Structure 1
Amino acid sequence: MLALAGAALAGAPLALAAPAGAAAAGTIVVDRGGPARSLPFTAARDGEAVISFAASAPGVSWGSAGAESAVVSIAVDGRHVTDLVVPSSDPVDRSLGLGHVQKGDHEVTLRFAKGSAPAADRVRLGRTRVRMPDDALALRHAPIVVGRTGWPFGNPYQNATTDTPLLAWHETRPAAAPGHRVIEYSMVWSNEDGGTDTPALMARWGRTTDIEWVYRVEVDASGRRVDGTAVYQAPLHLTFQFTGRFEGDHPLLQTCTENNNMCDVISPDPPLRFLLDASRTRPQGRAREAVMDRDPWTYRVAAQEMVREGKIEQPSDPATREVGDQRTYLFVEFAKTTGAPTAWGSAPGVALGVRLKADPSTLYRSDHGQPTWSVERDGAVATTVELPEGTAMSDIASIEALRRPVGLGDNGAPATVTSINRGFFLDDSYLPQPSAVAWQGSVTLTRANPSGVLWRPGLG
């Protein structure tokens, strides 16, 4: 789809063995105070373009104040399209949309941007390439999310140091009209400065990132937007009709709350904008957190933000409700359904409990004994269980399911757990270790029998 149209700068020639349909480069280096770097490409047709690379910034760490990130501004033919926040000195694979391009010659420009941390002086973009996917419907309607600025008195570069956008994906479903589809876009942020508190995030959602649906639209059989169907997640998690501006088919939204809800009215001259590659979708039958599992570096960024912002208890203690070192948690995804109620009262949630071989009388609970911290929603869900420092998978004697009404009374509904999809610890670098837990079956929890063992070593 793309033909090579020149050489990459920074002394690295465009790779001749590029994947089919892509323009590729070696390593492009973008320096603070240095010239912009350019990557020419030729589009063989009109369509949506994507740029990808392994991004790193020497001296940068999302976990260190003053060294949080380096920012690269990306333009196409002189038009600012998206920004890249680089939170690591280790290479991380990233992919961003470049928007709609017409058939012909184009130039991507990469510039070291304001908002970069004082410790950041250089960004290295390895294996840089531009491509035009054949199936670009999801890319065509993906939202452009303008960074949170706190206008008129806030920091316009907030997302370079907190709650930075990490990933995006889409999901589709049939619409009522024949041949029409509804596309919904979701994003992962490194955290949320407002909303659910950190201990509840770990218990109820199994992570400290913030995951939100952002934008939803109906398209007809030819992929055109159906007028009046575009909606977005507004403050207070309300759903509002989108009445803002489009760039092509891309709606322009702004992160306007501390828990990453959207507005369709944009503050003046926002410096950061994010067009993430939303071409992927969630693995079928899996929790939303599975999109993080595909990109393990997101767990490290999330953990580093907690450390830098002082949200981690020191020393870690699983007996308290505060969040400890995330490397002491078992990260679990399981699937559950809730039956019909038989009485008045609150619905049951499900928490997980872990017993250790060395002390089987102690039950470590994901909800820390808090009723509202159990998981009420059905389907595939994620949670975490805090364990003593140094615990390994080989130390675990059992994983149990625990039924717990989330409010006053108990409506008597049964809750059935049908699988554990994965379970892992983070390694010393805050990256997920391979999953060591998998189970399928059926354990029904009732008011009379509110707990049951799901998994023991050797039990598949």
Structure 2
Amino acid sequence: MFYTLTEEPVSTTIEYHIIYSHEDAGTPAPLLLSKWGRLTDIEWTYRVVLDAEGVVQEAVYQGPHHVTSRFRGLYGLGGLPMLQAATDNGMVTDIPDSSYRFLLAPVMRWEPHREPRERIMDAFPFTYPMMAWEALRHERPEVPANPATTALADPRCYLYVQTSKMTGRPEQNQGTSIDIRVKLKDDDRWYSSSFGDLRLDGFRAAYDGPYPQFSTTVKLYDGIALNRIERIEAVLLPVGAGAITVKGLKAFFLGPDYLPERPLIVEGEWKLSRRRPSAPLWQALQPV
């Protein structure tokens, strides 16, 4: 569990999020990797507003069907809200009927304007093998990995990417998407994080949510490594803001033990627009 903190002159809002190993319903596993850059399920669970004296003014939770509901449940263990998993995809209820009790301490503050949620996974890297074990228990991976299909491959076959899509106006973040494309050495093809802006039954493979910082993956091959990559670029996709800034790049593969390997980190800033929709985020050094 982690949290966000918003401080105002007369109030403080704390929102708690939980990382689940996987989800048993909702987005298909291969598209989780494309849209969210992970197979874990991360959900905001409980949000509380405190006044200047620390007294609760409002408390809500994320109920079934992603409905924000007022918390009317019981408190225990010194005033903590009692919630229970209610769906196959991480929603909760304030009417628990189980005798089990789990107390998760919030391990880290997340700052959405500075980093994607997956930085919490990076800080606690055991979450990556946990993610892989759970997914492979549920799914039969494609062998060998074929980047031309959306089928789930072994999680070690994907390039994990963290970057941003900053519109300058937060209300424009929703619906704005970029594609991350990768070119390998000695290979003329480009490999797309969104499978060419795939749309499937109303679902968009590219991330088009409200957060400016986000994660995605690019499906590649078995036994892939960073030294095989020649170029990484970002492309502004149709719909949404007509001009954005892409700031920063972090890219890595999972090693044999499913733990993140040493990442490629680029501290850059690139402008994308309808007139110039693409920009190289990283280019391998060419031999002299």
2:189 to 362, 365, 368: 362
Tell me, yes or no, if the aligned pair for 2:243 and 2:271 is still in contact at 8 Å.
Answer: no
**Alignment of 1:239 onto 2:68:** yes
* SS of alignment partner, residue 273 of structure 1: coil
Tell me, yes or no, if the aligned pair for 2:61 and 2:68 is still in contact at 8 Å.
Answer: yes
1:201 to 2, 7, 32: 32
The correspondence of residues 312-327 of structure 1 with structure 2, limited to 5 A, is 312-327=141-156
Letter in 1 for 2:95: V
Q: Who is 1:120 aligned against? A: none
**Alignment of 1:257 onto 2:84:** no
* SS of alignment partner, residue 427 of structure 1: coil
CA distance in 2, matches of 1:399, 1:277: 38
Q: Who is 2:217 aligned against? A: 384
CA distance in 1, matches of 2:41, 2:271: 30
Aligned-pair distance for 1:412? 6.6
Unaligned runs of 5+ residues in structure 1 are 1-167, 341-345
Letter in 1 for 2:208: E
Distance 1:279 1:429, change over 3 A: closer
The correspondence of residues 146-225 of structure 1 with structure 2, limited to 5 A, is 168-175=1-8, 178-225=9-56
**Alignment of 1:292 onto 2:125:** no
CA distance in 1, matches of 2:140, 2:177: 26
* SS of alignment partner, residue 337 of structure 1: coil
Tell me, yes or no, if the aligned pair for 1:318 and 1:386 is still in contact at 8 Å.
Answer: yes
* SS of alignment partner, residue 274 of structure 1: coil
Q: Who is 1:453 aligned against? A: 280
- Using CA pairs below 8 Å that are at least 6 residues apart, which structure has the higher relative contact order? 2
CA distance in 2, matches of 1:368, 1:183: 36
The Cα offsets for residues 8-59 of structure 1, whole Å up to 9 and x where unpaired, read as: xxxxxxxxxxxxxxxxxxxxxxxxxxxxxxxxxxxxxxxxxxxxxxxxxxxx
The correspondence of residues 264-413 of structure 1 with structure 2, limited to 5 A, is 264-267=94-97, 270-282=98-110, 285-338=114-167, 347-359=175-187, 361-369=188-196, 370-371=198-199, 372-377=204-209, 378-405=211-238, 410=239, 413=242
* SS of alignment partner, residue 203 of structure 1: helix
Aligned-pair distance for 1:235? 0.9
Unaligned runs of 5+ residues in structure 2 are none
CA distance in 2, matches of 1:246, 1:319: 51
Tell me, yes or no, if the aligned pair for 2:157 and 2:223 is still in contact at 8 Å.
Answer: yes
Tell me, yes or no, if the aligned pair for 2:251 and 2:263 is still in contact at 8 Å.
Answer: yes
Structure 1 runs of 4+ with >6 Å offset: none
* SS of alignment partner, residue 230 of structure 1: strand
Q: Who is 2:268 aligned against? A: 440
Larger-gyration structure (1/2): 1
Letter in 2 for 1:439: E
Aligned-pair distance for 1:271? 4.2
Percent identity between the aligned chains?
36
The correspondence of residues 83-102 of structure 1 with structure 2, limited to 5 A, is none
* SS of alignment partner, residue 23 of structure 2: coil
Tell me, yes or no, if the aligned pair for 2:245 and 2:269 is still in contact at 8 Å.
Answer: no
Aligned-pair distance for 1:191? 0.5
Superposition TM-score, scaled by structure 2 size = 0.89
Superposition TM-score, scaled by structure 1 size = 0.57
Aligned-pair distance for 1:179? 3.6
The RMSD of aligned alpha carbons is 2.1
CA distance in 2, matches of 1:215, 1:281: 15
Aligned-pair distance for 1:347? 4.5
Tell me, yes or no, if the aligned pair for 2:12 and 2:50 is still in contact at 8 Å.
Answer: yes
Tell me, yes or no, if the aligned pair for 1:230 and 1:241 is still in contact at 8 Å.
Answer: yes
Tell me, yes or no, if the aligned pair for 1:283 and 1:290 is still in contact at 8 Å.
Answer: no
Aligned-pair distance for 1:411? 5.8
Aligned-pair distance for 1:314? 2.5
* SS of alignment partner, residue 233 of structure 1: strand
Query: Aligned residues, how many?
Result: 274
The correspondence of residues 21-60 of structure 1 with structure 2, limited to 5 A, is none
* SS of alignment partner, residue 338 of structure 1: coil
